[in-house]
């Protein structure tokens, strides 16, 4: 024990000694925004091109902003601004900027940063934009939009209508209820536990993996990149999974009846657990004979198709 | 029964040894007793042999290296001149990196942006000739992928990095569109006339929007101008992806 | 008579080892590439000399002898600019081929200039080794300009350069099936252009 204590003390001292010569200045600001009297904050817009954005829902009516700012020196730190524009009509706008002045030295690339953690009312709708940094959303009830160039996107425990756009990066969604439309150019999408009206995911050059999905309308599409889908076929719903050159692999748990159409122009089609007939390059299968079938369509040009039908619902989707 | 029409279709595969034994043997048999087809096969072999006889390597004139050297030297000068422009711009006291509602920065900055991004640009929406493999430029400007991180020199400033980032982002969008154009060109053969017409019409609209946004962005390097330009690219990519992957118009 | 000849000369793929190119990783070349990336002028010149004949041959045949020098210049500038992004996941030669074909095709489609056959014939340098039927080969070379650029590219890559359909598809960014059908159409068009005299010449030579 004593040895550990001494070691800890030594490293602490070393840490303090190093702190004498800071390579950068760090500042942490907390700002609380209370709504105007009688007005509810129903929308929050965050535009931060200088760092990350994390948004979490909380039970209070106001907005709390925790900003961590980094700069090479005090003078530059003074130029890092977070501006707040509370709108009497409701939406709160949070922007970040670096003010450039005459006598100021040119700022070195990568030496400044503003990371934001923002707490907003759960039922406020969020719109978050970053440039090349991550966006994280959690515990929100009214959906929102995320736009980024190269940041990663993570959304968890959110409900409502959610829309994302990224040029490059990973997008992760977990426990989303309602409508989700995720779009990316390259990267990967990982989707787990989504239920509601719609799940739409589009990548140009990247993979899509979706598990525990129970949405009425599912549309997954890539130009190149495999698609893996494991979910329920909702009665009367549609599932459309298509790729140009990627493989399409689908497992679905059939509680009700399903009609499947699979087409691979140059690859193979394998189907398990469902009766199929072949019509040219198309494979048609039906499971169950109910009237309100789910319609499933799987398509790939150059890849292969794997279809797996399992009877009954998975235990941990019982809450659906 | 092998017919003369079949031979015409398969002659290339036949002379290149690409056909399975059964069909090759059937063709050999037919050719033995059909002078027309025999002549066709001979002609195909003659063309192939004539092409193979050409030496793929040709000596370029000695002046070629000099011209290349001069071009490279010019590019390096161009880059260092940009630093001078940036310094001037810095002294002009603009505000950068503001969020929504920012004032426009000197058009000078955007002139550099547009000039540079036009340089390596082989994708020209007006030069599209659908249906021809060759008319659609394969891959992007040079067939290479966009790197995951910019190679910015240690001494670059945030504004230089921003311009590099924007150019890279724009190039990524344009390369993606070029790639989708290639795929669309090869998929068109299987589309019906209605789909082809609808696709071409929509692409023309989307191209016009992109061109307008690029022109508008030349008025000032604001986050909104690049946002709307990139949004226009994304809409186009989404549309092209939808039609080329599914072979139908879903909306 | 022609029937007898057809029987003798059973067509099939002729092995041409001197034209086969395989994508392999060459450590010496990778070192050269690294030096080019560092901006070392001597390395850039060495790379140029290593690839100049192949690049120039390819762009001459696709873009035409008139524009070959301009296009070749463009190709090498793009090579040096693009080397920072070349990841080595395909062979350097494949990558350079792709740049060359792209540049030549963009040039052609941007400025389609119908070439005069006579001028073309005069501009084409004499083949290094007069193999087989030099007259026909030279006439084919002159007729290349009359093929649509897409057909020209496949014919040059597959027959002149000796690449497989897989390699052609990789360079042109199309499917293997498309490469095969384009080659078929290219050869058919070339058969038309070179005319019936072609078969007569061949019979003469073999008799």
Rounded Cα distance between A245 and A205, Å, is 10
Sorted by where each starts, the structural domains of chain C and their CATH numbers stand as 25-113 (1.10.1740.10), 127-207 (1.10.10.10)
My answer on whether B137 and B193 are in the same domain is yes
Report d(CA B63, CA B29) in Å as an integer. 55
B22 touches chain C (CB under 8 A): no
Angstrom distance (rounded) from CA A156 to CA A178: 13
Q: Is the pLDDT of residue A70 over 80?
A: yes
pLDDT score recorded for residue A165: 97
pLDDT at A8: 43
Distance CA A244, CA A241 (A): 11
Average pLDDT over residues B127-134: 26
Beta carbons of A69 and A114 less than 8 angstroms apart? yes
Answer yes or no: do B245 and A244 touch at CB < 8 A. Answer: yes
Scan for tokens 């979910």, then name that residue.
A231
Select the more confidently predicted residue: B173 or A255: B173
CB contact under 8 A, B71 and C77: yes
Interface test with C, best of B133, B145, B184, B186 (most C CBs within 10 A): B133
Counting residues of chain B whose pLDDT is more than 90, the rounded percentage is: 29
**Which token pair is A99?**
């003010």
Is residue B203 helix, strand or coil?
helix
Distance CA C149, CA C185 (A): 12
Per-residue model confidence (pLDDT) at position B70: 85
Containing structural domain, residue B220: 97-246
CA distance B142 to chain C (A): 6
Output B132 or A288, whichever has higher pLDDT.
A288
B96 DSSP 8-state letter? B
d(CA A264, CA A243): 10
Chains with 3 or more CB pairs closer than 8 angstroms to C?
A: B
DSSP C156: I
Cα separation, A90 vs B194, whole angstroms: 47
pLDDT tens sequence across B83-93: 333 333 333 33
Query: How far apart are the C-alpha atoms of C46 and C150, rounded to whole Å?
Result: 31
Mutate to test the interface with B, among A43, A44, A46, A47 (most CBs of B within 10 A): A47
Residues of B with CB under 8 A from a CB of A: 90-91, 93-102, 148, 152, 155-161, 165, 169, 172-173, 176, 179-180, 183, 187, 223, 227, 230-231, 234, 237-238, 241-242, 244-247, 250
Q: Using the 8-state DSSP alphabet, how is residue C160 labeled?
A: I
Query: Which residue in B has a C-alpha nearest to residue C4's C-alpha?
Result: B32
CA torsion sign for B197, B200, B206, B208 is negative
The pLDDT score that the predictor gives to residue A86 is 63
Q: For residue A126, how many other CB atoms are within 10 A of its CB?
A: 25
- Same structural domain, B89 and B101: no
**DSSP per-residue letters across B2-14:** --HHHHHHHHHHH
Lowest-confidence range among A32-41, B9-18, B165-174?
A: A32-41
Mean pLDDT score, A261-274: 89
| Band of pLDDT at residue A256, cut at 50, 70 and 90 | low
Which of these ranges, A81-85, A101-105, A176-180, has the smallest mean pLDDT? A101-105
- Other beta carbons within 10 angstroms of residue B218's beta carbon come to 13
Q: At residue B119, does pLDDT exceed 70?
A: no
User: Kind of pairing, strands A80-86 and A92-98?
Assistant: antiparallel
The reported pLDDT for the residue numbered A255 is 64
Q: Measuring CA to CA, which residue among C160, C204, C2, C186 is closest to residue B42?
A: C2
Q: How far is CA B155 from the centre of its chain?
A: 33
Closest chain C C-alpha to B18 CA, distance in angstroms: 8
Report the C-alpha gap between A40 and C133 in whole angstroms.
Answer: 87
Q: Which residues of B touch C127 (CB under 8 A)?
A: 53-55
pLDDT tens track for B185-212: 988 888 989 999 999 999 999 999 988 8
B-chain residues near A188 (CB < 8 A): none
Q: Which chains have 3+ CB pairs within 8 A of B?
A: A, C
Q: Is B98 helix (H, G, I), strand (E, B) or coil?
A: coil
The answer as to whether B251 is a domain residue is: no
A107-157 pLDDT per residue, tens: 888 889 999 999 999 999 999 999 999 999 999 999 999 999 999 999 999
For the segment B9-23, the average pLDDT, to the nearest whole number, is: 91
Q: How far is CA A291 from CA A216, A259, A284, A309, B28, in A?
A: 16, 11, 17, 19, 57
Cα–Cα distance, C1 to C3 (Å, whole number): 5
b or e along C21-56 (b: 16 or more beta carbons within 10 Å of the residue's beta carbon)? beeeeeeebeebbebbbeeeeebbeebbeebbbbbb
Of A299, A302, A215, residue with least CA distance to A261: A299
Task: Give the separation between CA C72 and CA A6, rounded to whole angstroms.
Answer: 69
Task: Return phi, psi of residue B78, to 5°.
Answer: -55, -45
Examine the pLDDT at B100 and tell me if it is beyond 70: no
Average of pLDDT values for A153-169? 96
Length of chain A counted residue by residue: 320
* B218 alpha-carbon distance from chain centroid: 23
Span B26-70, pLDDT tens digits: 999 999 999 889 989 989 999 999 999 899 999 999 889 988 988
Give this prediction's pTM.
0.56
CB contact under 8 A, B42 and C202: yes
Rounded CA separation C38/C126 (Å): 38
Taking CB atoms and an 8 Å limit, are B99 and A149 in contact across chains? no
Confirm if B86 and B201 have CB atoms less than 8 A apart: no
Q: Which residue has the higher pLDDT, B2 or B10?
A: B10
- Round to whole Å and give the CA distance between B153 and B160: 10
- The residue to which tokens 């493989």 are assigned: A247
Q: Is there a contact between B99 and A95 if contact means CB atoms under 8 Å apart?
A: yes
Kindly list the domain boundaries of chain A, sorted by start residue: 21-129, 152-320
- Residue A212 to chain B, least CA–CA distance (Å): 25
Arithmetic mean of pLDDT over chain A: 85
Same domain, B71 and B123: no
* Contact B51/C at CB under 8 A: yes
Closest Cβ–Cβ partner in B55, B132, B147 for C128: B55
**Residues in B touching C61 (Cβ below 8 Å):** 54
Determine whether the interchain pair C184/B145 forms a contact, defined as Cβ–Cβ distance below 8 Å: no
Q: How far is the alpha carbon of A98 from chain B, nearest alpha carbon, in Å?
A: 6
Regarding whether B102 and B127 lie in a shared domain, the answer is yes
| Closest CA of chain B from A149, distance in Å | 7
Nearest to C115 by CA among C87, C85, C152, C80: C152
Indicate if B156 and B83 belong to the same structural domain. Answer: no
Instruction: Tell me which chain A residue has its CA closest to the CA of residue B181.
Output: A223
Residues B54, C140: contact at Cβ < 8 Å? Answer: yes
Sequence-distant (6+) residues with CB within 8 A of B201 are: none
Interface A–B counts its CB contacts (< 8 A) at: 113
**Preferred mutation among C102, C138, C201 to probe B, highest tally of B CBs within 10 A:** C102
Reported as a pLDDT band with limits 50, 70 and 90, residue A69 is very high
Cβ-nearest to B12 among C3, C175, C187: C187
The yes-or-no verdict on residue A226 having pLDDT over 70 is: yes
> CB-CB: which of B100, B157, B169 is closest to A108?
B157
pLDDT range class, residue A220, cuts 50, 70, 90: very high
What integer pLDDT is reported at residue C13 of this predicted model?
Answer: 40
What pLDDT is attached to residue A170? 95
Q: Counting beta carbons within 10 angstroms of the beta carbon of residue B8, is it exposed (0 to 12), middle (13 to 18) or buried (19 or more)? A: middle
Q: Are residues B129 and B236 in the same domain?
A: yes
Tally of domains in chain B: 3
Residue B128 belongs to some domain of the structure: yes
Q: What's the 3-state SS for chain A?
A: CHHHHHHHHHHHHHHHHHHCCCCCEEEEEEEEECCCCCCCCCEEEEEECCCCEEEEEECCCCEEEEEEEEECCHHHHHHEEEEEEECCCCCEEEEEEECCCCCCCCCECCCCEEEEEEEEECCCEEEEEECCCCEEEEEECCCEEEEECCCCEEEEEEEEEEEEEEEEEEEEEEEEEEEEEEEEEEEEEEEEEEEEEEEEEEEEEEEEEEEEEEEEEEEEEEEECCEEEEEECCCCCEEEEEECCCCEEEEEEECCCEEEEEEECCCCEEEECCEEEEECCEEEEEECCCCCCEEEEEEECCCCEEEEEEECCCHHHCCC
Contact call for B246 and A49, based on CB within 8 A: no
pLDDT higher at A5 or A286 = A286
Cβ contacts of A109 on chain B, cutoff 8 Å: 152, 156-158, 160-161
Q: What is the ipTM of this complex?
A: 0.86
B33 shares a domain with B77: no
In a structure prediction context, what are the per-residue pLDDT tens digits for chain C, which is 207 residues long?
222 322 333 344 433 333 434 445 677 888 888 888 877 888 888 999 999 999 999 999 999 898 999 999 999 988 888 887 676 667 888 889 988 998 898 888 765 455 444 444 444 454 444 444 568 888 898 889 888 888 999 999 999 999 999 989 888 878 888 899 999 999 999 998 887 656 566 566 665
Q: How far apart are CA A257 and CA C93, in angstroms?
A: 54
Evaluate if residue B115 carries a pLDDT over 60.
Answer: no
The partner residue sitting opposite C191, judged by closest CB among B44, B58, B61, is B44
CB B65 to CB C72 under 8 A?
no
Supply the pLDDT for residue A127.
97
Burial of A69 by CB count in 10 Å (0-12 exposed, 13-18 middle, 19+ buried)? buried
Question: Does A167 sit within 8 Å of B98, measured CB to CB?
Answer: no
| 8 Å CB contact of A99 and B95 | yes
- Tokens 């350079």 belong to C96
Chain B interface, mutation test: which of C71, C131, C159, C195, most B Cβ atoms within 10 Å? C159
What tokens appear for C34 in the block? 């690294």
CB contact under 8 A, B158 and A108: yes
Model pLDDT, residue A297: 94
Q: Which residues of C touch B56 (CB under 8 A)?
A: 19, 54, 57-58, 160-162
Whether residue A257 contacts residue A290, with contact meaning beta carbons closer than 8 Å, is answered with yes
CB of A184 closer than 8 Å to CB of A166: yes
Would you call B159 and A221 a contact, using CB atoms and an 8 Å cutoff?
A: no
Q: Are residues B206 and B169 in the same domain?
A: yes
Q: Find the residue in B nearest to A81 (Cα).
A: B98
Q: Which of B10, B53, B179 is most worth mutating to test chain C (most C CB atoms within 10 A of its CB)?
A: B53
B22 CA: distance to closest CA in chain A (Å): 23
Helices (H) then strands (E): counts for chain C: 11, 0
B123 and B233, same structural domain? yes
* Contact partners, residue B218, CB within 8 Å, separation at least 6: B107, B110, B111, B113, B114
In this complex, do B134 and C149 lie within 8 Å of one another by their Cβ atoms? Answer: yes
Q: Tell me the nearest-neighbour CA distance from A50 into chain B, angstroms.
A: 8
What is the reported pLDDT for B135?
Answer: 22
C92 touches C33 (CB < 8 A): yes
Asked if residue C184 lies in contact with residue C159, where contact means CB atoms within 8 angstroms, the answer is no
Q: What pLDDT score was predicted for residue B75? A: 64
Nearest to C98 among B15, B124, B143 (CB): B143
């Amino acid at each position: 024990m004593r040895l550990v204590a001494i070691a800890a003390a030594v490293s602490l001292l070393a840490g303090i000694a190093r702190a004498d010569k800071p390579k950068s200045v760090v500042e942490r600001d907390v700002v609380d925004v209370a709504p105007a009297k009688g007005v509810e904050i129903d929308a929050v817009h965050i535009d931060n091109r200088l760092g990350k954005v994390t948004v979490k829902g909380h039970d209070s009516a106001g907005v709390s902003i925790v900003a961590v700012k980094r700069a090479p020196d005090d003078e530059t730190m003074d130029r890092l601004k977070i501006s707040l524009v509370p709108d009497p009509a409701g939406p709160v706008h949070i922007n970040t900027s670096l003010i450039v002045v005459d006598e100021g030295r040119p700022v070195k690339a990568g030496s400044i940063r503003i990371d934001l953690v923002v707490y907003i009312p759960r039922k406020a709708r969020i719109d978050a934009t970053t440039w090349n940094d991550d966006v994280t959303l959690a515990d929100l009830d009214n959906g929102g939009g995320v736009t980024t160039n190269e940041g990663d996107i993570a959304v968890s425990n959110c409900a409502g209508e959610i829309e994302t756009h990224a040029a490059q990066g990973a997008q992760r969604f977990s426990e989303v209820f309602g409508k989700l439309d995720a779009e990316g150019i390259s990267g990967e999408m990982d989707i787990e536990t989504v239920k509601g009206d719609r799940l739409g995911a589009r990548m140009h050059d990247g993979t899509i993996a979706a598990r525990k999905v129970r949405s009425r309308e599912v549309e997954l599409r890539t130009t190149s990149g495999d698609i893996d889908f494991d979910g329920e076929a909702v009665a009367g719903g549609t599932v459309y999974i298509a790729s140009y050159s990627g493989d399409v692999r689908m497992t679905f748990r059939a509680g009700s009846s399903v009609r499947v159409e699979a087409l691979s122009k140059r690859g193979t089609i394998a189907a398990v657990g469902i009766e199929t007939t072949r019509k040219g390059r198309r494979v048609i299968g039906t499971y169950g004979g109910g009237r309100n079938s789910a319609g499933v369509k799987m398509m790939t040009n150059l890849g292969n198709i794997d279809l797996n039908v399992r009877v009954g619902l998975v235990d941990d989707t019982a809450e659906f | 029964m092998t017919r003369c029409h079949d031979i015409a279709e398969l002659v290339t595969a036949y002379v290149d040894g690409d056909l399975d034994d059964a069909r090759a043997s059937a063709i050999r048999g037919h050719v033995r007793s059909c002078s027309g087809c025999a002549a066709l096969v001979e002609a195909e072999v003659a063309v192939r042999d004539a092409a193979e006889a050409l030496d793929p390597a040709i000596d370029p004139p000695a002046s070629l290296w000099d011209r290349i050297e001069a071009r490279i030297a010019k590019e390096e000068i161009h880059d260092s001149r940009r630093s001078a422009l940036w310094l001037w711009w810095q002294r002009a006291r603009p505000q950068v990196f503001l969020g929504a509602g920012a004032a426009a920065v000197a058009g000078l900055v955007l002139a550099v942006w547009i000039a540079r991004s036009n340089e390596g640009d082989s994708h020209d929406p007006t030069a599209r000739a659908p249906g021809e493999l060759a008319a659609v430029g394969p891959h992007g400007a040079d067939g290479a992928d966009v790197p995951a991180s910019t190679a910015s020199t240690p001494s670059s400033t945030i504004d230089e990095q921003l311009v590099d980032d924007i150019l890279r982002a724009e190039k990524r969008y344009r390369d993606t569109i070029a790639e989708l154009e290639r795929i669309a060109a090869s998929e068109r053969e299987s589309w019906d006339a209605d789909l082809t017409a609808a696709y071409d019409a929509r692409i023309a609209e989307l191209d016009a929007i992109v061109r307008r946004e690029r022109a508008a962005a030349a008025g000032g390097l604001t986050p909104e101008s690049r946002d709307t330009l990139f949004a226009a690219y994304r809409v186009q990519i989404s549309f092209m992806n939808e039609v080329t992957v599914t072979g139908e118009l879903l909306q | 008579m022609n029937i007898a000849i057809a029987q003798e000369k059973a067509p099939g793929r002729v092995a041409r080892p001197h034209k086969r190119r395989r994508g392999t990783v060459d450590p010496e070349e990778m070192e050269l590439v690294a030096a080019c990336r560092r901006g070392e002028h001597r390395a850039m010149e060495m790379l140029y000399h290593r690839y100049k004949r192949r690049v120039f041959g390819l762009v001459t045949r696709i873009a035409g002898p008139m524009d070959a020098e301009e296009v070749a210049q463009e190709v090498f500038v793009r090579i040096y600019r693009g080397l920072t992004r070349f990841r080595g996941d395909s062979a350097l030669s494949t990558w350079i081929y792709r740049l060359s074909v792209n540049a030549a095709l963009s040039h052609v489609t941007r400025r389609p200039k119908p070439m005069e056959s006579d001028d073309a014939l005069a501009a084409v340098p004499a083949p290094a080794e007069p193999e087989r039927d030099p007259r026909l080969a030279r006439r084919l070379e002159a007729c290349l300009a009359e093929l649509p650029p897409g057909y020209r590219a496949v014919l040059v890559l597959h027959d002149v350069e000796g690449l497989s359909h897989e390699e052609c598809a990789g360079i042109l960014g199309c499917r293997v099936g498309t490469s095969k059908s384009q080659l078929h159409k290219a050869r058919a068009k070339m058969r038309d252009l070179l005319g019936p005299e072609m078969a007569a010449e061949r019979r003469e030579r073999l008799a």
